Structure 1
Amino acid sequence: MLTAFAVALLVASPVTDLPMAQPRFVGPWWAFALAFAATEQFVIHLHRRRDAHSLSLSELPLLLGYSMLGPVALVGARLLGSAFTLLVVKRQGPTKLAFNMALFASEVLLGLLIFRAVLDGQAPLGVRAWVAALLSILATNLLGTLAVSAVIWLTEGRVQLAMLREVVTIGTVLAVGNAAAGAFVIGVTWTAPEALLPLVAVAVFLYIGYQAYLSLRERHANLQTLYRFTSSTARSGDTREAAAAMLEEVCQLLRCEMAEFVLVAEDGEPVLRIRHQDGQLRQDDDLPAPHTDDLAWCLARVADGPALFPAGRTEAPLTRYLTDVPVKDAVLASLDLELVQRLRGVIVAANRTSEISTFDGTDAELVGALARHAGVALENGQLVERLRREAADKAHQANHDSLTQLPNRTLLHRELGRACDRSRRDGSRFAVLFLDLDNFKQVNDTLGHATGDLLLQEVAGRLQGLLRPGDVVGRLGGDEFALLVADVDADEALVIADRVTAELHQPCVLHDIAVDVRASIGVAMCPDHATDPDDLMQRADVTMYAAKSAGGRPRLYDPSLDVFTHRRLALAAELRTALHRGDLEVRYQPRLRLADRKVLGVEALARWAHPELGPVPPQEFIPIAEEAGLIDELTRIVLERAIADAIRWHRDGQQIELSVNISARSVMDPAFPAHVTEVLRRTAFPADMLTLEVTESSMLTDPVRAVATLEALARMGVRLAIDDFGTGFSSMAYLKRLPLHEIKVDQGFVRHMLTDDNDRVIVQSIVDLAHNLGMSCVAEGVEDDETVLALMALGCEEAQGYLWSDPLPADELFTWLSTSAPRAPEVELQVLTDGHSGQDRRWAARHAGTQRAVWTR
C-alpha cells in the first residue's frame, strides 16, 4: 500500500512540476546517500520507562535534499543509503525492510511536495523556509505514525490510543526542533556554502557529546534501578517472593517482555522455576516442562559469564527451552546458590519491547550484575526461610510436648491466663480438668517405657477427639494432662469428666497387649473456685489426688481439700531443716509377753514437735518425708539414735530388744544392709537384739529386690518383722520365702476384735499363720485387759499398746522399766459348757480386784 502511494505521488502528482530555486551549491546524490546511511546508523534512542523513542537526524539531509535534488535523485539517495544500513549493518528482515523502504519513499515524496509547495519557487530562507520545513516534517511524521499504527492494527487487531497520542506528541516536539535545525542548515548552505563543513563538524561533536550524555544518564538510571532491585529483593524473606521481585525488576530494567528464573538441583531436575511475563507470574507446573538437554545447554552457555543473543541471532536450544514464547532476542546469566543448598540457576531475559533496539553487551553485563545481586538476595531468602522454620520449630517445641504434640505446661498456662482474663471481663465460666493416669508406673515397669510412650500418645489422641471448639488439652508432664473446657457450669464439667473417664477406659491394645487405662480427674471452676491460672491448676490438682484416693468418679473442688495441702507444703520445707538440726525425737513403746507381762523389747517411733504447729502426727510427716526424698535420712537417724539409747539401757542393766521401722526405699536399697552392718560394727550392738520392721506395701513394688535385701539383713543375724500385717495384699509365695521372725497384727483389727467377729476371725487367722510358719505374733494397739485376754485365748504371745505405756523418751522409758513395768497377773481360766457341746462358742471376761479373770467358751 505504501509503495503504491509512493508511486502515485511520483507519477500522478505535480511534484516534478513544482518550481525550485537554484542554490549556489548542489551536492552530489551519492553524498546524500552516505548522509542517509550515517543518520540511520547513528540514531539517538530516548528511553522512557519501558518505551523508547528514536531521534533520527535524517530530517537534516532530507530538508537539504528538498532544496537541492530532484524527486528521483532524492528518493534514490534516501532508499539506497537507508537500505545499506538496515540490511547490511543491522540485518533487518525482508518484510520489515520492505515496509521501511516504502515508508521512506512515501515520506520523501510527501515532504518534498509540501516543502516546495510552501516555498513556491522562492529561496528557502527566512520564516517561509522554517514553515515549509516544519510542515513537511510534521506531515512525514504523521504519515509514519499512521502507517505503523495500521500495521499494528492489521497484526494485532487493536491500537493503543494512549500510546498513539504519546507518539504524536513527542513527534511534534521533535519536528519543531528538527525543522528549526533544518532551516538553519539550509540557510547556511544557500548563503555561505563554505560554512557547511565547520557546521558538520560542530554537529558531529554535538552528537558525540549528546550520546555521552545519554550514556551517563542511562547508566545513572541503571544504577537507580539496580539499587531499587537490590532493595526489593533484599526485603523479600521468602525465596519465591525474592525471585518474583527480581524478575519484575529485570523486566523493567532491561525493558523486556519476559524474564524467567530457574534453579536446578545437582541431579539436573528443576526445583524452582518462575516466569514474569506481561505483568503476570507463572510458576513451576504452570509452565511447560523444559527438555533436560535444552536446560543443560542454557546452564552451559552461562558457565563462563552472561550469554548475549541479539535480534536475529538466537539459537535453537534457547528457542526450544522457551517453547511457548517466540524469542526475538535474549540475554542469559548464571545464578548459583551454595550456602544452604547447592543449586545452579539461570536468568533469561527475552524480547526487548523496543522495536528500535536490541540487547547489547551492556545489557549482558547488567544482567550478570543483577544475577550476582539476586544470588545474594536469594541465598539470604533461603537463610531467612531456614531461620524462620527453625524458629517456628523451636517455638513449637517450646510450647508443645515432644511426645504427644499437645500444648505443654507453658502454652496451657498461657491459654489458661487468656481464659481467666475473658472471665474477669465478661463473667464467662470454664472448667479445668486435671487428669492423672492410674497405675501408669506399672505399665512402664512391666511393658517398658516405649509401650508407656505409646499409651500416652493413645491417651492424647483420645482426649483430642473429645474436644469441642474452644477447648484446649495439654500434657503437663509424666502421665498428667489438663483440659480447659469453655462455657460450662460445674454439673456440665462433671458430665464431661465422666465422658473422658469412659473414653479412656475403653481397651487400649499396644503391641498386641490389651492395657486397661483408668484415670483420676479433679475439676476446678473459674470464677467459682479461682480466677488466677496458678490457683485454678493447684486446686484442680488437689482435687485430682482426692479423687485418686477415693478411687471413684471425677471430683469437684471443695475448699476443705486445700487446708491440708497448704500445711503439707509448709511441713515439707521445714522437715528437712528439722532433720538437719536434730529436732525430731525418738520415743519408745514397750512390747510385752502376754503370759507373764515381761517387757521383751521396745519399738522406736519418730516424733516431731513443731515449734509453732505443735506435735505433727507420724501419719502426716512420714508420707511428706517419702515424697520429699527425706525418708532414707529419717530412717538412718532413727536407727542410729535408737541403737545409741539401747546401748545405754544395756549398760544400766535393762537387756531389752530394739525394733526399728524401715522405709520402702530402704527395703529397695541394695546399700542398706551394708549401712546396718557398719552401724552394728561401730556400736558393737548385738545383731540378734535388733528387729527391723517392714510393711507389706513396701514389698509390692519389686518383691525380688525386697527379698534380696531382707535375706542380706537376715544373714547378719538381724531379726525381721512384717508390720501392719493384714492391710496389704501380700503374696503367700513371697511370704514363705521371706526370712521373717515375727508378724505384727495391725491395730485396726486388734481394737475392734471384741465387737466385730470378722476382725476377730482375721486376728485368729494371722496368729495361726504366724505359728504355722514358725514365727511369733505381736498384736499392736492393745488398750484394755479384755483385749489382752482375748489375744491370749487366740494364742497370741506378745502385744504392745497404750494399755501399758505411751511411747516414751529414752530417759523416761528407763525410769518406767525400773519402777512401773507391769508384773505377771494371777489369771484363772475356767471352761464352761453352754449346752451346745462346745459347738457354739462365746466368751466373756470380768475383772476382779486381784485381776482374776474367768473365761467362758
Structure 2
Amino acid sequence: MSNAYRPVATFLVLVGLYLAGIAYADFLARGPNDFALFWPAAGVAFAASVRYGLRWVLLIPAAALAGLAIRPSVPLVYQAISTIGDTLATLLGAWIARRDRVPAYPQFRSAFRMLVGAIVTALVGAAIGAVAMLSAGNLGTFSVPEAFLRWSMGNLLGITAIAPAIVLFSYRNTQLSAFDAGEKSARQLEQSLWNIALVLSFLLLGWGASTEGRYPLGMSSLPLSVMVWGALRFEPLRTAVAVALTVLLIGSFAGIGLPGIALPADTFDSAMLLSYLCMVSILPITLALVVNEGRIATRKLLRRATTDPLTGLPNRVAFETTVRRALTDPVAPPLALCYVDLDHIKLVNDTASHAAGDCLIVGVAGILRGSLQPGDALAHLGGDEFALLLHNATPTIARDRTQALVRTIEAYRGQWEGRMLTTTASMGVVPFQAGEAEFASLLSQADAACYTAKEQGGNRVCVAGAMPGDVLDRTVAMRWAVRIREALDKRAFSLYAQTMTPLHAGLDTGRHFEILLRMHDRKTGQHLTPNHFMPAAERFRLGVPIDRMVVDMTLGWLESHPEHAATVTTCAINLSGEAMVDEGFIGYVAERLRRSAFPASRICLEITETSAVRDLGRAQRCIDQLRALGCRFSLDDFGTGFCSFSYLRSLDVDYFKIDGSFVREMQTVPLSAAVVRSITQIAHVLDKKTIAEHTENEGLIRTLTELGVDFGQGYAIDKPQPLDDYFAKPFIAPSFAAPADRLRA
C-alpha cells in the first residue's frame, strides 16, 4: 500500500474497530437503560490517540456519526453529550500518556503513563457520561454515583484490555526487537505449544462457565497462567492479544448468560468483577513489558559488545563466533577467510586527519558490505583491518571476488572537507572446508598472506597455498616475533663481548670490544645468535625494544663492575635501523647515559651503512644529539652501500667498520684488497679510524696491518664470550710485535 494512503486506511480500520466495540458493548447491556460490562471502544480511541497523535481522537465523533444508523433508539442529546465527553476525556488521557517523549517501543515507564492516562480518561468520561444519562433521563434505577462507578470501571477495563494490543500491533515491524530472527525461529515450537495451551485454557474456561459450579470464574486463572508464561518467554504483543481475547471471552460468556459467569446483579458485584478483570488485563502486560525491556537492554549491551562503533559492522568477537559456527556445519559449502588491510591509511591520518582516515575506513566498509552475498560475513577487526567469510567460495572464486574488491577499493574516492581521499587494499585469502581447520589457525594464515601481499607492494591479493614460500616465511617470522616478545618480557638475553684489537702502535691500548647479543632458547638451552631472530625483530618493529634492553643491560653491568669498567676504552653497541629515527629511543639513551657512572665517551654506537643512507638527515641528527653527550659512532658494514664515498662528509662518525665480505676475500680477490686499501686511505684523510670485521687468520692480520687498517676483529684475535667470562681473563695490552707473537700473547 502506498504510504500516502496508509494513514487513511489505518483511520478507517480504527473507526471500524470502534464501531465493533460499541456493538459488542450493546450486546452485553440488558436494555437501553443498562450499563455494558465494559466499553472496548474506549480502548480503540485511546490507543489511536496515544500511538498516532492527539488529532486521532477525532475518530470518536467520526464513529459516532457513523453509529447513528446502528443505534437509532439512543437519544441524540445523550449521544452528543457522551461523544463530546468521550472525546475530551480521551484527549486529556492521551495527552498525559504522551506528555514525555514517545519511546521507540513501549516500555514500563511509558506503560505506567498510559495507565495514568487511562484512569483519567475513565474518570472524566464517566463524569460527563453520568451527566449525559441524567440529562437524557436514562439513569433508570441507578443513582448518579452508581452510574459514574459503572461507567468509569467499564471504560478503564476497555482501555486496559484493548489498547495494549492495538499499540503493540502497530509496533510489530519495529527494528527494536528483543529477539533476532534466529531466536524467533528457535522458539517456534514453544510458541506452538503456547498457542495450544491458550486455546485449551479458553475451552476449559468456557466449560466452567457453562456449568453451575461455585467458582467457575476462578478458572480464568488458567489463561492468566498461560499469559504469564507468554510474558516471560515471548514478545509483549502475544501477551496483549491473549489479554484482549480473555477479557472479551469472559464478557461474552457473561453476555450470553452462561450460568457460571452471569452478568453482575448490582453495582458492588460489577465493581468486583471489573476490578478482577482489570487486574487480569494489567498484570500480564506489565510483566511482559518489564521482561521485554530487560531483554532489549541485554541485547543492546550484546550488540555494543559485538559491534564496531565506527563502521557499525560486527567486531572480531562476533566474527569469530560466526566463523566457528561455520566450521562446525557438516553441510557447509566451500569457504574462504579473507583478511583485508588498507594500504597507507597512516598517510591519510597524518596528512588529512584521523577523522579523515575514519571517513575513508567507513567508506571502504560500505564497499565491503555491498559485496556480501548470501551466507557471507564481514567484520571490522579494528584500525584499518577487516575480515570476510566467503560462502560457496572455491579458491578460484575467492581469488576472483577479492581481486574485484581490490579494484573497487582502488577506484573509490572519498570526500572529506573538499579533499579527495583514496586508498588501496592488501588481502590475504585462505580457502578451507568446514571441519578441516581452527579459527585461530585460519586467521593467522590469512593475516600472513595479507602481510605477504603488503610486502609485495600492496593493492593485491595473496592466496595462502598459491604462494606457500612467502606465506611460510611470514608465518615463521610471526612465530619468532612472539618468541622475541616473550624473551624481552623475561629478559631472556645474554651479553657477549668480542675484542677489537689495535693493529698499530699509537692507538689506545685499553679494552676495545663489541657487545654481541644472544637469546636463550628455552627448548634447546642454546644461546641463539642475532641472525636467527633479528630479521623477524626488524620485520615486526621489535628492534628498538631490543636496543633499549641492550643499552640498559650493558650500562648496568659496567656500573656494577667498576673495577672492570676502568679498563675499558671502547664499548661498541650495535643499533638497529629503527633506532636511528626513533626520537623516543634517542631520548631514552640520553637519559640513561646521564644517570650512569660509566663515561659516555667510552661508548661507541654502531649504525649500519644502509640504515644511515636511508635517511641521512635523521641519521646525522641522531649522531649530533648523542655525540653532544660524549658518545662516539661507528659506521658498520661499510662498503656495501651504493656510492658509499659520496656521503662520508655528511656523517660525523669516528670509525669505518669495513664489511667482512671484503676482508675475507682479500687474500684471493685483488679487488677486495683494493677496496679495503681505499676505505682505509679515505678514512685517514678524514681523520677517522678503520675496523676490519671477520679477521679470521694470521695472514689477514698481517695484510690488514700492512694496509694501515687500525683495528681488527675476528676469530683470529678473539672469539665472542659471555661478558663475565670476557672480563674474568686478565687484560694484556697489545705489544705490536710480529702478528704471530701478538696472537700468542
* Distance in 2 (alpha carbons) for counterparts of 1:701 and 1:462: 37
For residues 582-612 of structure 1, what are the alpha-carbon distances to aligned partners after superposition, in whole Å with 9 as ceiling and x for unaligned? x532111223456679777211112134353
Structure 1 residues 816 and 367 mapped into 2: Cα distance closer, same or farther (>3 Å)? same
* Counterpart for residue 372 of structure 2: 467
Determine whether 1:610 maps to 2:518: no
**Are 1:263 and 1:270, in contact at CA under 8 Å, matched by a contact in 2?**
yes
1:250 is aligned to 2:40: yes
Aligned residue in 1 for 2:553: 638
Which residue of structure 1 lines up, in the alignment, with residue 320 of structure 2? 413
In the TM superposition, 1:385-404 aligns within 5 A as: 391-404=298-311
> Is the Cα–Cα contact under 8 Å of residues 332 and 364 in structure 1 kept in the other structure?
no
| Cα drift, residue 389 of structure 1 | 6.0
Residues 319-348 of structure 1, C-alpha deviation per residue, up to 9 Å, x if partnerless?
Answer: 7998xxxxxx99876242379638997869
Residue equivalent to 1:334: 93
Q: Which residue of structure 1 aligns with residue 27 of structure 2?
A: 51
Structure 1 CA distance, aligned partners of 2:671 and 2:376?
Answer: 50
Shift of 1:659: 1.0
Distance in 1 between the 2:317 and 2:609 partners?
40
Could you tell me how far 1:678 is from its partner in structure 2? 0.9
Q: Does residue 423 of structure 2 align to residue 517 of structure 1?
A: yes
Which residue is equivalent to 1:584?
Answer: 493
The alpha carbon displacement at 1:414 in A equals 1.5
Give 3-state SS (helix, strand or coil) of 1:467's partner: coil
Distance 2:438 2:685 in 1: 60
Deviation at 1:747, TM superposition (A): 5.1
Q: Is the 8 A contact 2:517 2:530 kept in 1?
A: yes
Q: Please give the alpha-carbon distance, in whole angstroms, between the structure 2 residues aligned to 1:392 and 1:729.
A: 62
- Write the letter of the residue equivalent to 1:809: P
Q: CA deviation at 1:408?
A: 0.9
Match of 1:232 in 2: none
The question of whether the paired residues in 2 share the 8 Å contact of 1:692 and 1:719 is answered with: yes
Q: Is the 8 A contact 1:260 1:273 kept in 2?
A: no
Task: Give the letter aligned to residue 366 of structure 1.
Answer: M
Distance 1:429 1:693 in 2: 53
Distance 1:703 1:263 in 2: 77
Question: 1:656 aligns to what SS in structure 2?
Answer: strand
Shift in Å at residue 691 of structure 1?
1.2
Paired amino acid for 1:538: S
Counterpart-to-counterpart distance in 1, 2:456 and 2:488: 27
**Aligned 8 A contact 1:603 1:660 in 2:** yes
Question: CA 1:392–1:443 in structure 2 vs 1: closer, same or farther (change >3 Å)?
Answer: same
Aligned residue runs from structure 1 range 21-60, under 5 A: 50-51=26-27
- For residues 443 and 331 of structure 1, do their structure 2 counterparts lie closer, same or farther at Cα, with a shift above 3 Å needed? closer
The reply on whether 1:433 has 2:338 as its aligned counterpart is: yes
Bigger drift between 756-765 and 795-804 goes to 756-765
Quote the offset at 1:534 in angstroms.
2.2
Query: Cα deviations across residues 275-316 of structure 1 (Å, max 9, x unaligned)?
Result: 999xxxxxxxxx999xxxxxxxxxxxxxxxxxxx98514559
* Residues 45-86 of structure 1: per-residue CA shift (max 9 Å, x gap): xx9864157679xxxxxxxxxxxxxxxxxxxxxxxxxxxxxx
Contact 1:783–1:802 (CA<8 Å) still a contact in 2?
Answer: yes
Query: 1:400: how far off?
Result: 2.0
Alignment counterpart, residue 366 of structure 1, candidates 143, 149, 153: 153
> 2:399, 2:434 → 1: CA distance?
14
Aligned AA (1:617): T
The residue identity in structure 2 corresponding to 1:460 is: A
User: Does structure 1 residue 672 correspond to structure 2 residue 578?
Assistant: no
Match of 1:184 in 2: none
- Paired with 2:678 and 2:349, the residues of 1 have a C-alpha distance of 36
| CA pair 686-396 structure 1, distance change in 2 beyond 3 A | closer
User: Could you tell me how far apart the structure 2 residues matched to 1:763 and 1:784 are?
Assistant: 16
C-alpha distance in structure 1 between counterparts of 2:628 and 2:706, whole Å: 34
1:538-566 CA-to-partner distances (Å, cap 9, x unmatched) read 22223333444455751414495555655
1: CA distance between counterparts of 2:644 and 2:289? Answer: 65
Q: 1:691 aligns with which of 604, 607, 626?
A: 604
In structure 2, relative to structure 1, the CA distance for the partners of 1:656 and 1:333 (3 Å cut) is closer
- Partner Cα separation in structure 2 for residue 380 and residue 453 of structure 1: 43
Contact 1:693 1:720 in 2 (8 A): yes
How far apart, in 2, do the equivalents of 1:504 and 1:260 lie? 53
Match of 1:270?
53
Q: Whole-Å Cα distance in 2 between the matches of residues 757 and 497 of structure 1? A: 54
Aligned residue runs from structure 1 range 499-538, under 5 A: 499-506=404-411, 508=413, 511=416, 517-527=423-433, 530-538=436-444
Q: After superposition, where does 1:735-774 map in structure 2 within 5 Å?
A: 740-744=653-657
Q: Specify the structure having the higher radius of gyration (Cα).
A: 1
Say which SS state the counterpart of residue 447 (structure 2) adopts.
Answer: helix
Q: Is the 8 A contact 1:597 1:822 kept in 2?
A: no
Aligned counterparts of 2:517 and 2:666: Cα–Cα separation in 1: 28
Question: What is the percentage of aligned positions where both structures have the same residue?
Answer: 24
**d(CA) in 1 for partners of 2:435 and 2:677?**
50
Matching residue within 641, 656, 661 for 2:569 = 656
1:483 pairs, out of 382, 385, 388, with 388
Whole-Å separation in 2 of the counterparts to 1:433 and 1:488? 11
CA contact (8 A) 1:339 1:379 kept: no
The Cα shift of 1:801 comes to 3.7
Partner of 1:452: 357
Once the two structures are superposed, what CA deviation does each residue of 1:175-211 show, in whole Å capped at 9, x if it has no partner? xxxxxxxxxxxxxxxxxxxxxxxxxxxxxxxxxxxxx
1:792 positional shift: 8.5
| 1:820-839 Cα deviation digits (max 9, x unpaired) | 9695668xxxxxxxxxxxxx
Measured after TM superposition, the shift of residue 523 of structure 1 is: 2.5
Kept in 1: contact 2:636–2:656 (CA 8 A): yes
Counterpart Cα distance in 2 of 1:609 and 1:497: 42
Deviates more, 1:540-549 or 1:743-752: 743-752
CA contact (8 A) 2:311 2:365 kept: yes
Q: Greater RCO between the two (CA within 8 Å, min separation 6)?
A: 2
Aligned residue in 2 for 1:312: 77
Q: CA separation of 1:50/1:509 partners in 2, compared to 1, >3 Å: closer, same or farther?
A: closer
TM superposition shift of 1:704: 8.9
Displacement after TM superposition at 1:497 (Å) = 3.7
Q: Is residue 46–residue 90 contact of structure 2 (8 Å, CA) maintained in 1?
A: no
- Provide, for residues 118-159 of structure 1, a one-character-per-residue CA deviation record: whole Å limited to 9, x for no partner: xxxxxxxxxxxxxxxxxxxxxxxxxxxxxxxxxxxxxxxxxx
Question: In the superposition, relative to structure 1, how do residues 718 and 414 fare at CA in structure 2: closer, same or farther (>3 Å)?
Answer: same
Report the alpha carbon displacement of residue 770 of structure 1 after superposing the two structures with TM.
Answer: 6.7
Q: Is the 8 A contact 1:529 1:536 kept in 2?
A: no
Report SS of the residue matched to 1:431.
Answer: strand
Distance 1:755 1:510 in 2: 63
| Cα distance in 1, alignment partners of residues 24 and 430 from structure 2 | 73
Please give the secondary structure, in 1, of the residue aligned with 2:364: helix
- Report if the CA contact (8 A) 1:401-1:407 is conserved: yes
More displaced stretch, 388-397 vs 686-695: 388-397
Paired letter, 1:533: F
The TM-score normalised by the length of structure 1 is 0.50
Q: Structure 1 counterpart of 2:591, which letter?
A: A
Task: Compute the TM-score of the two structures, normalised by the length of structure 2.
Answer: 0.56
2:227 is matched with none
2:595 counterpart SS class: helix
- The amino acid of 1:590's aligned partner reads T
Relative distance call for 1:474 and 1:52 in structure 2 (3 A) is closer
Residues 19-39 of structure 1, C-alpha deviations (whole Å, 9 max, x = no match): xxxxxxxxxxxxxxxxxxxxx
The verdict on how the C-alpha distance between 1:419 and 1:568 changes in structure 2, with shifts beyond 3 A counting, is same
- Residue 591 of structure 1 aligns with an amino acid whose one-letter code is M
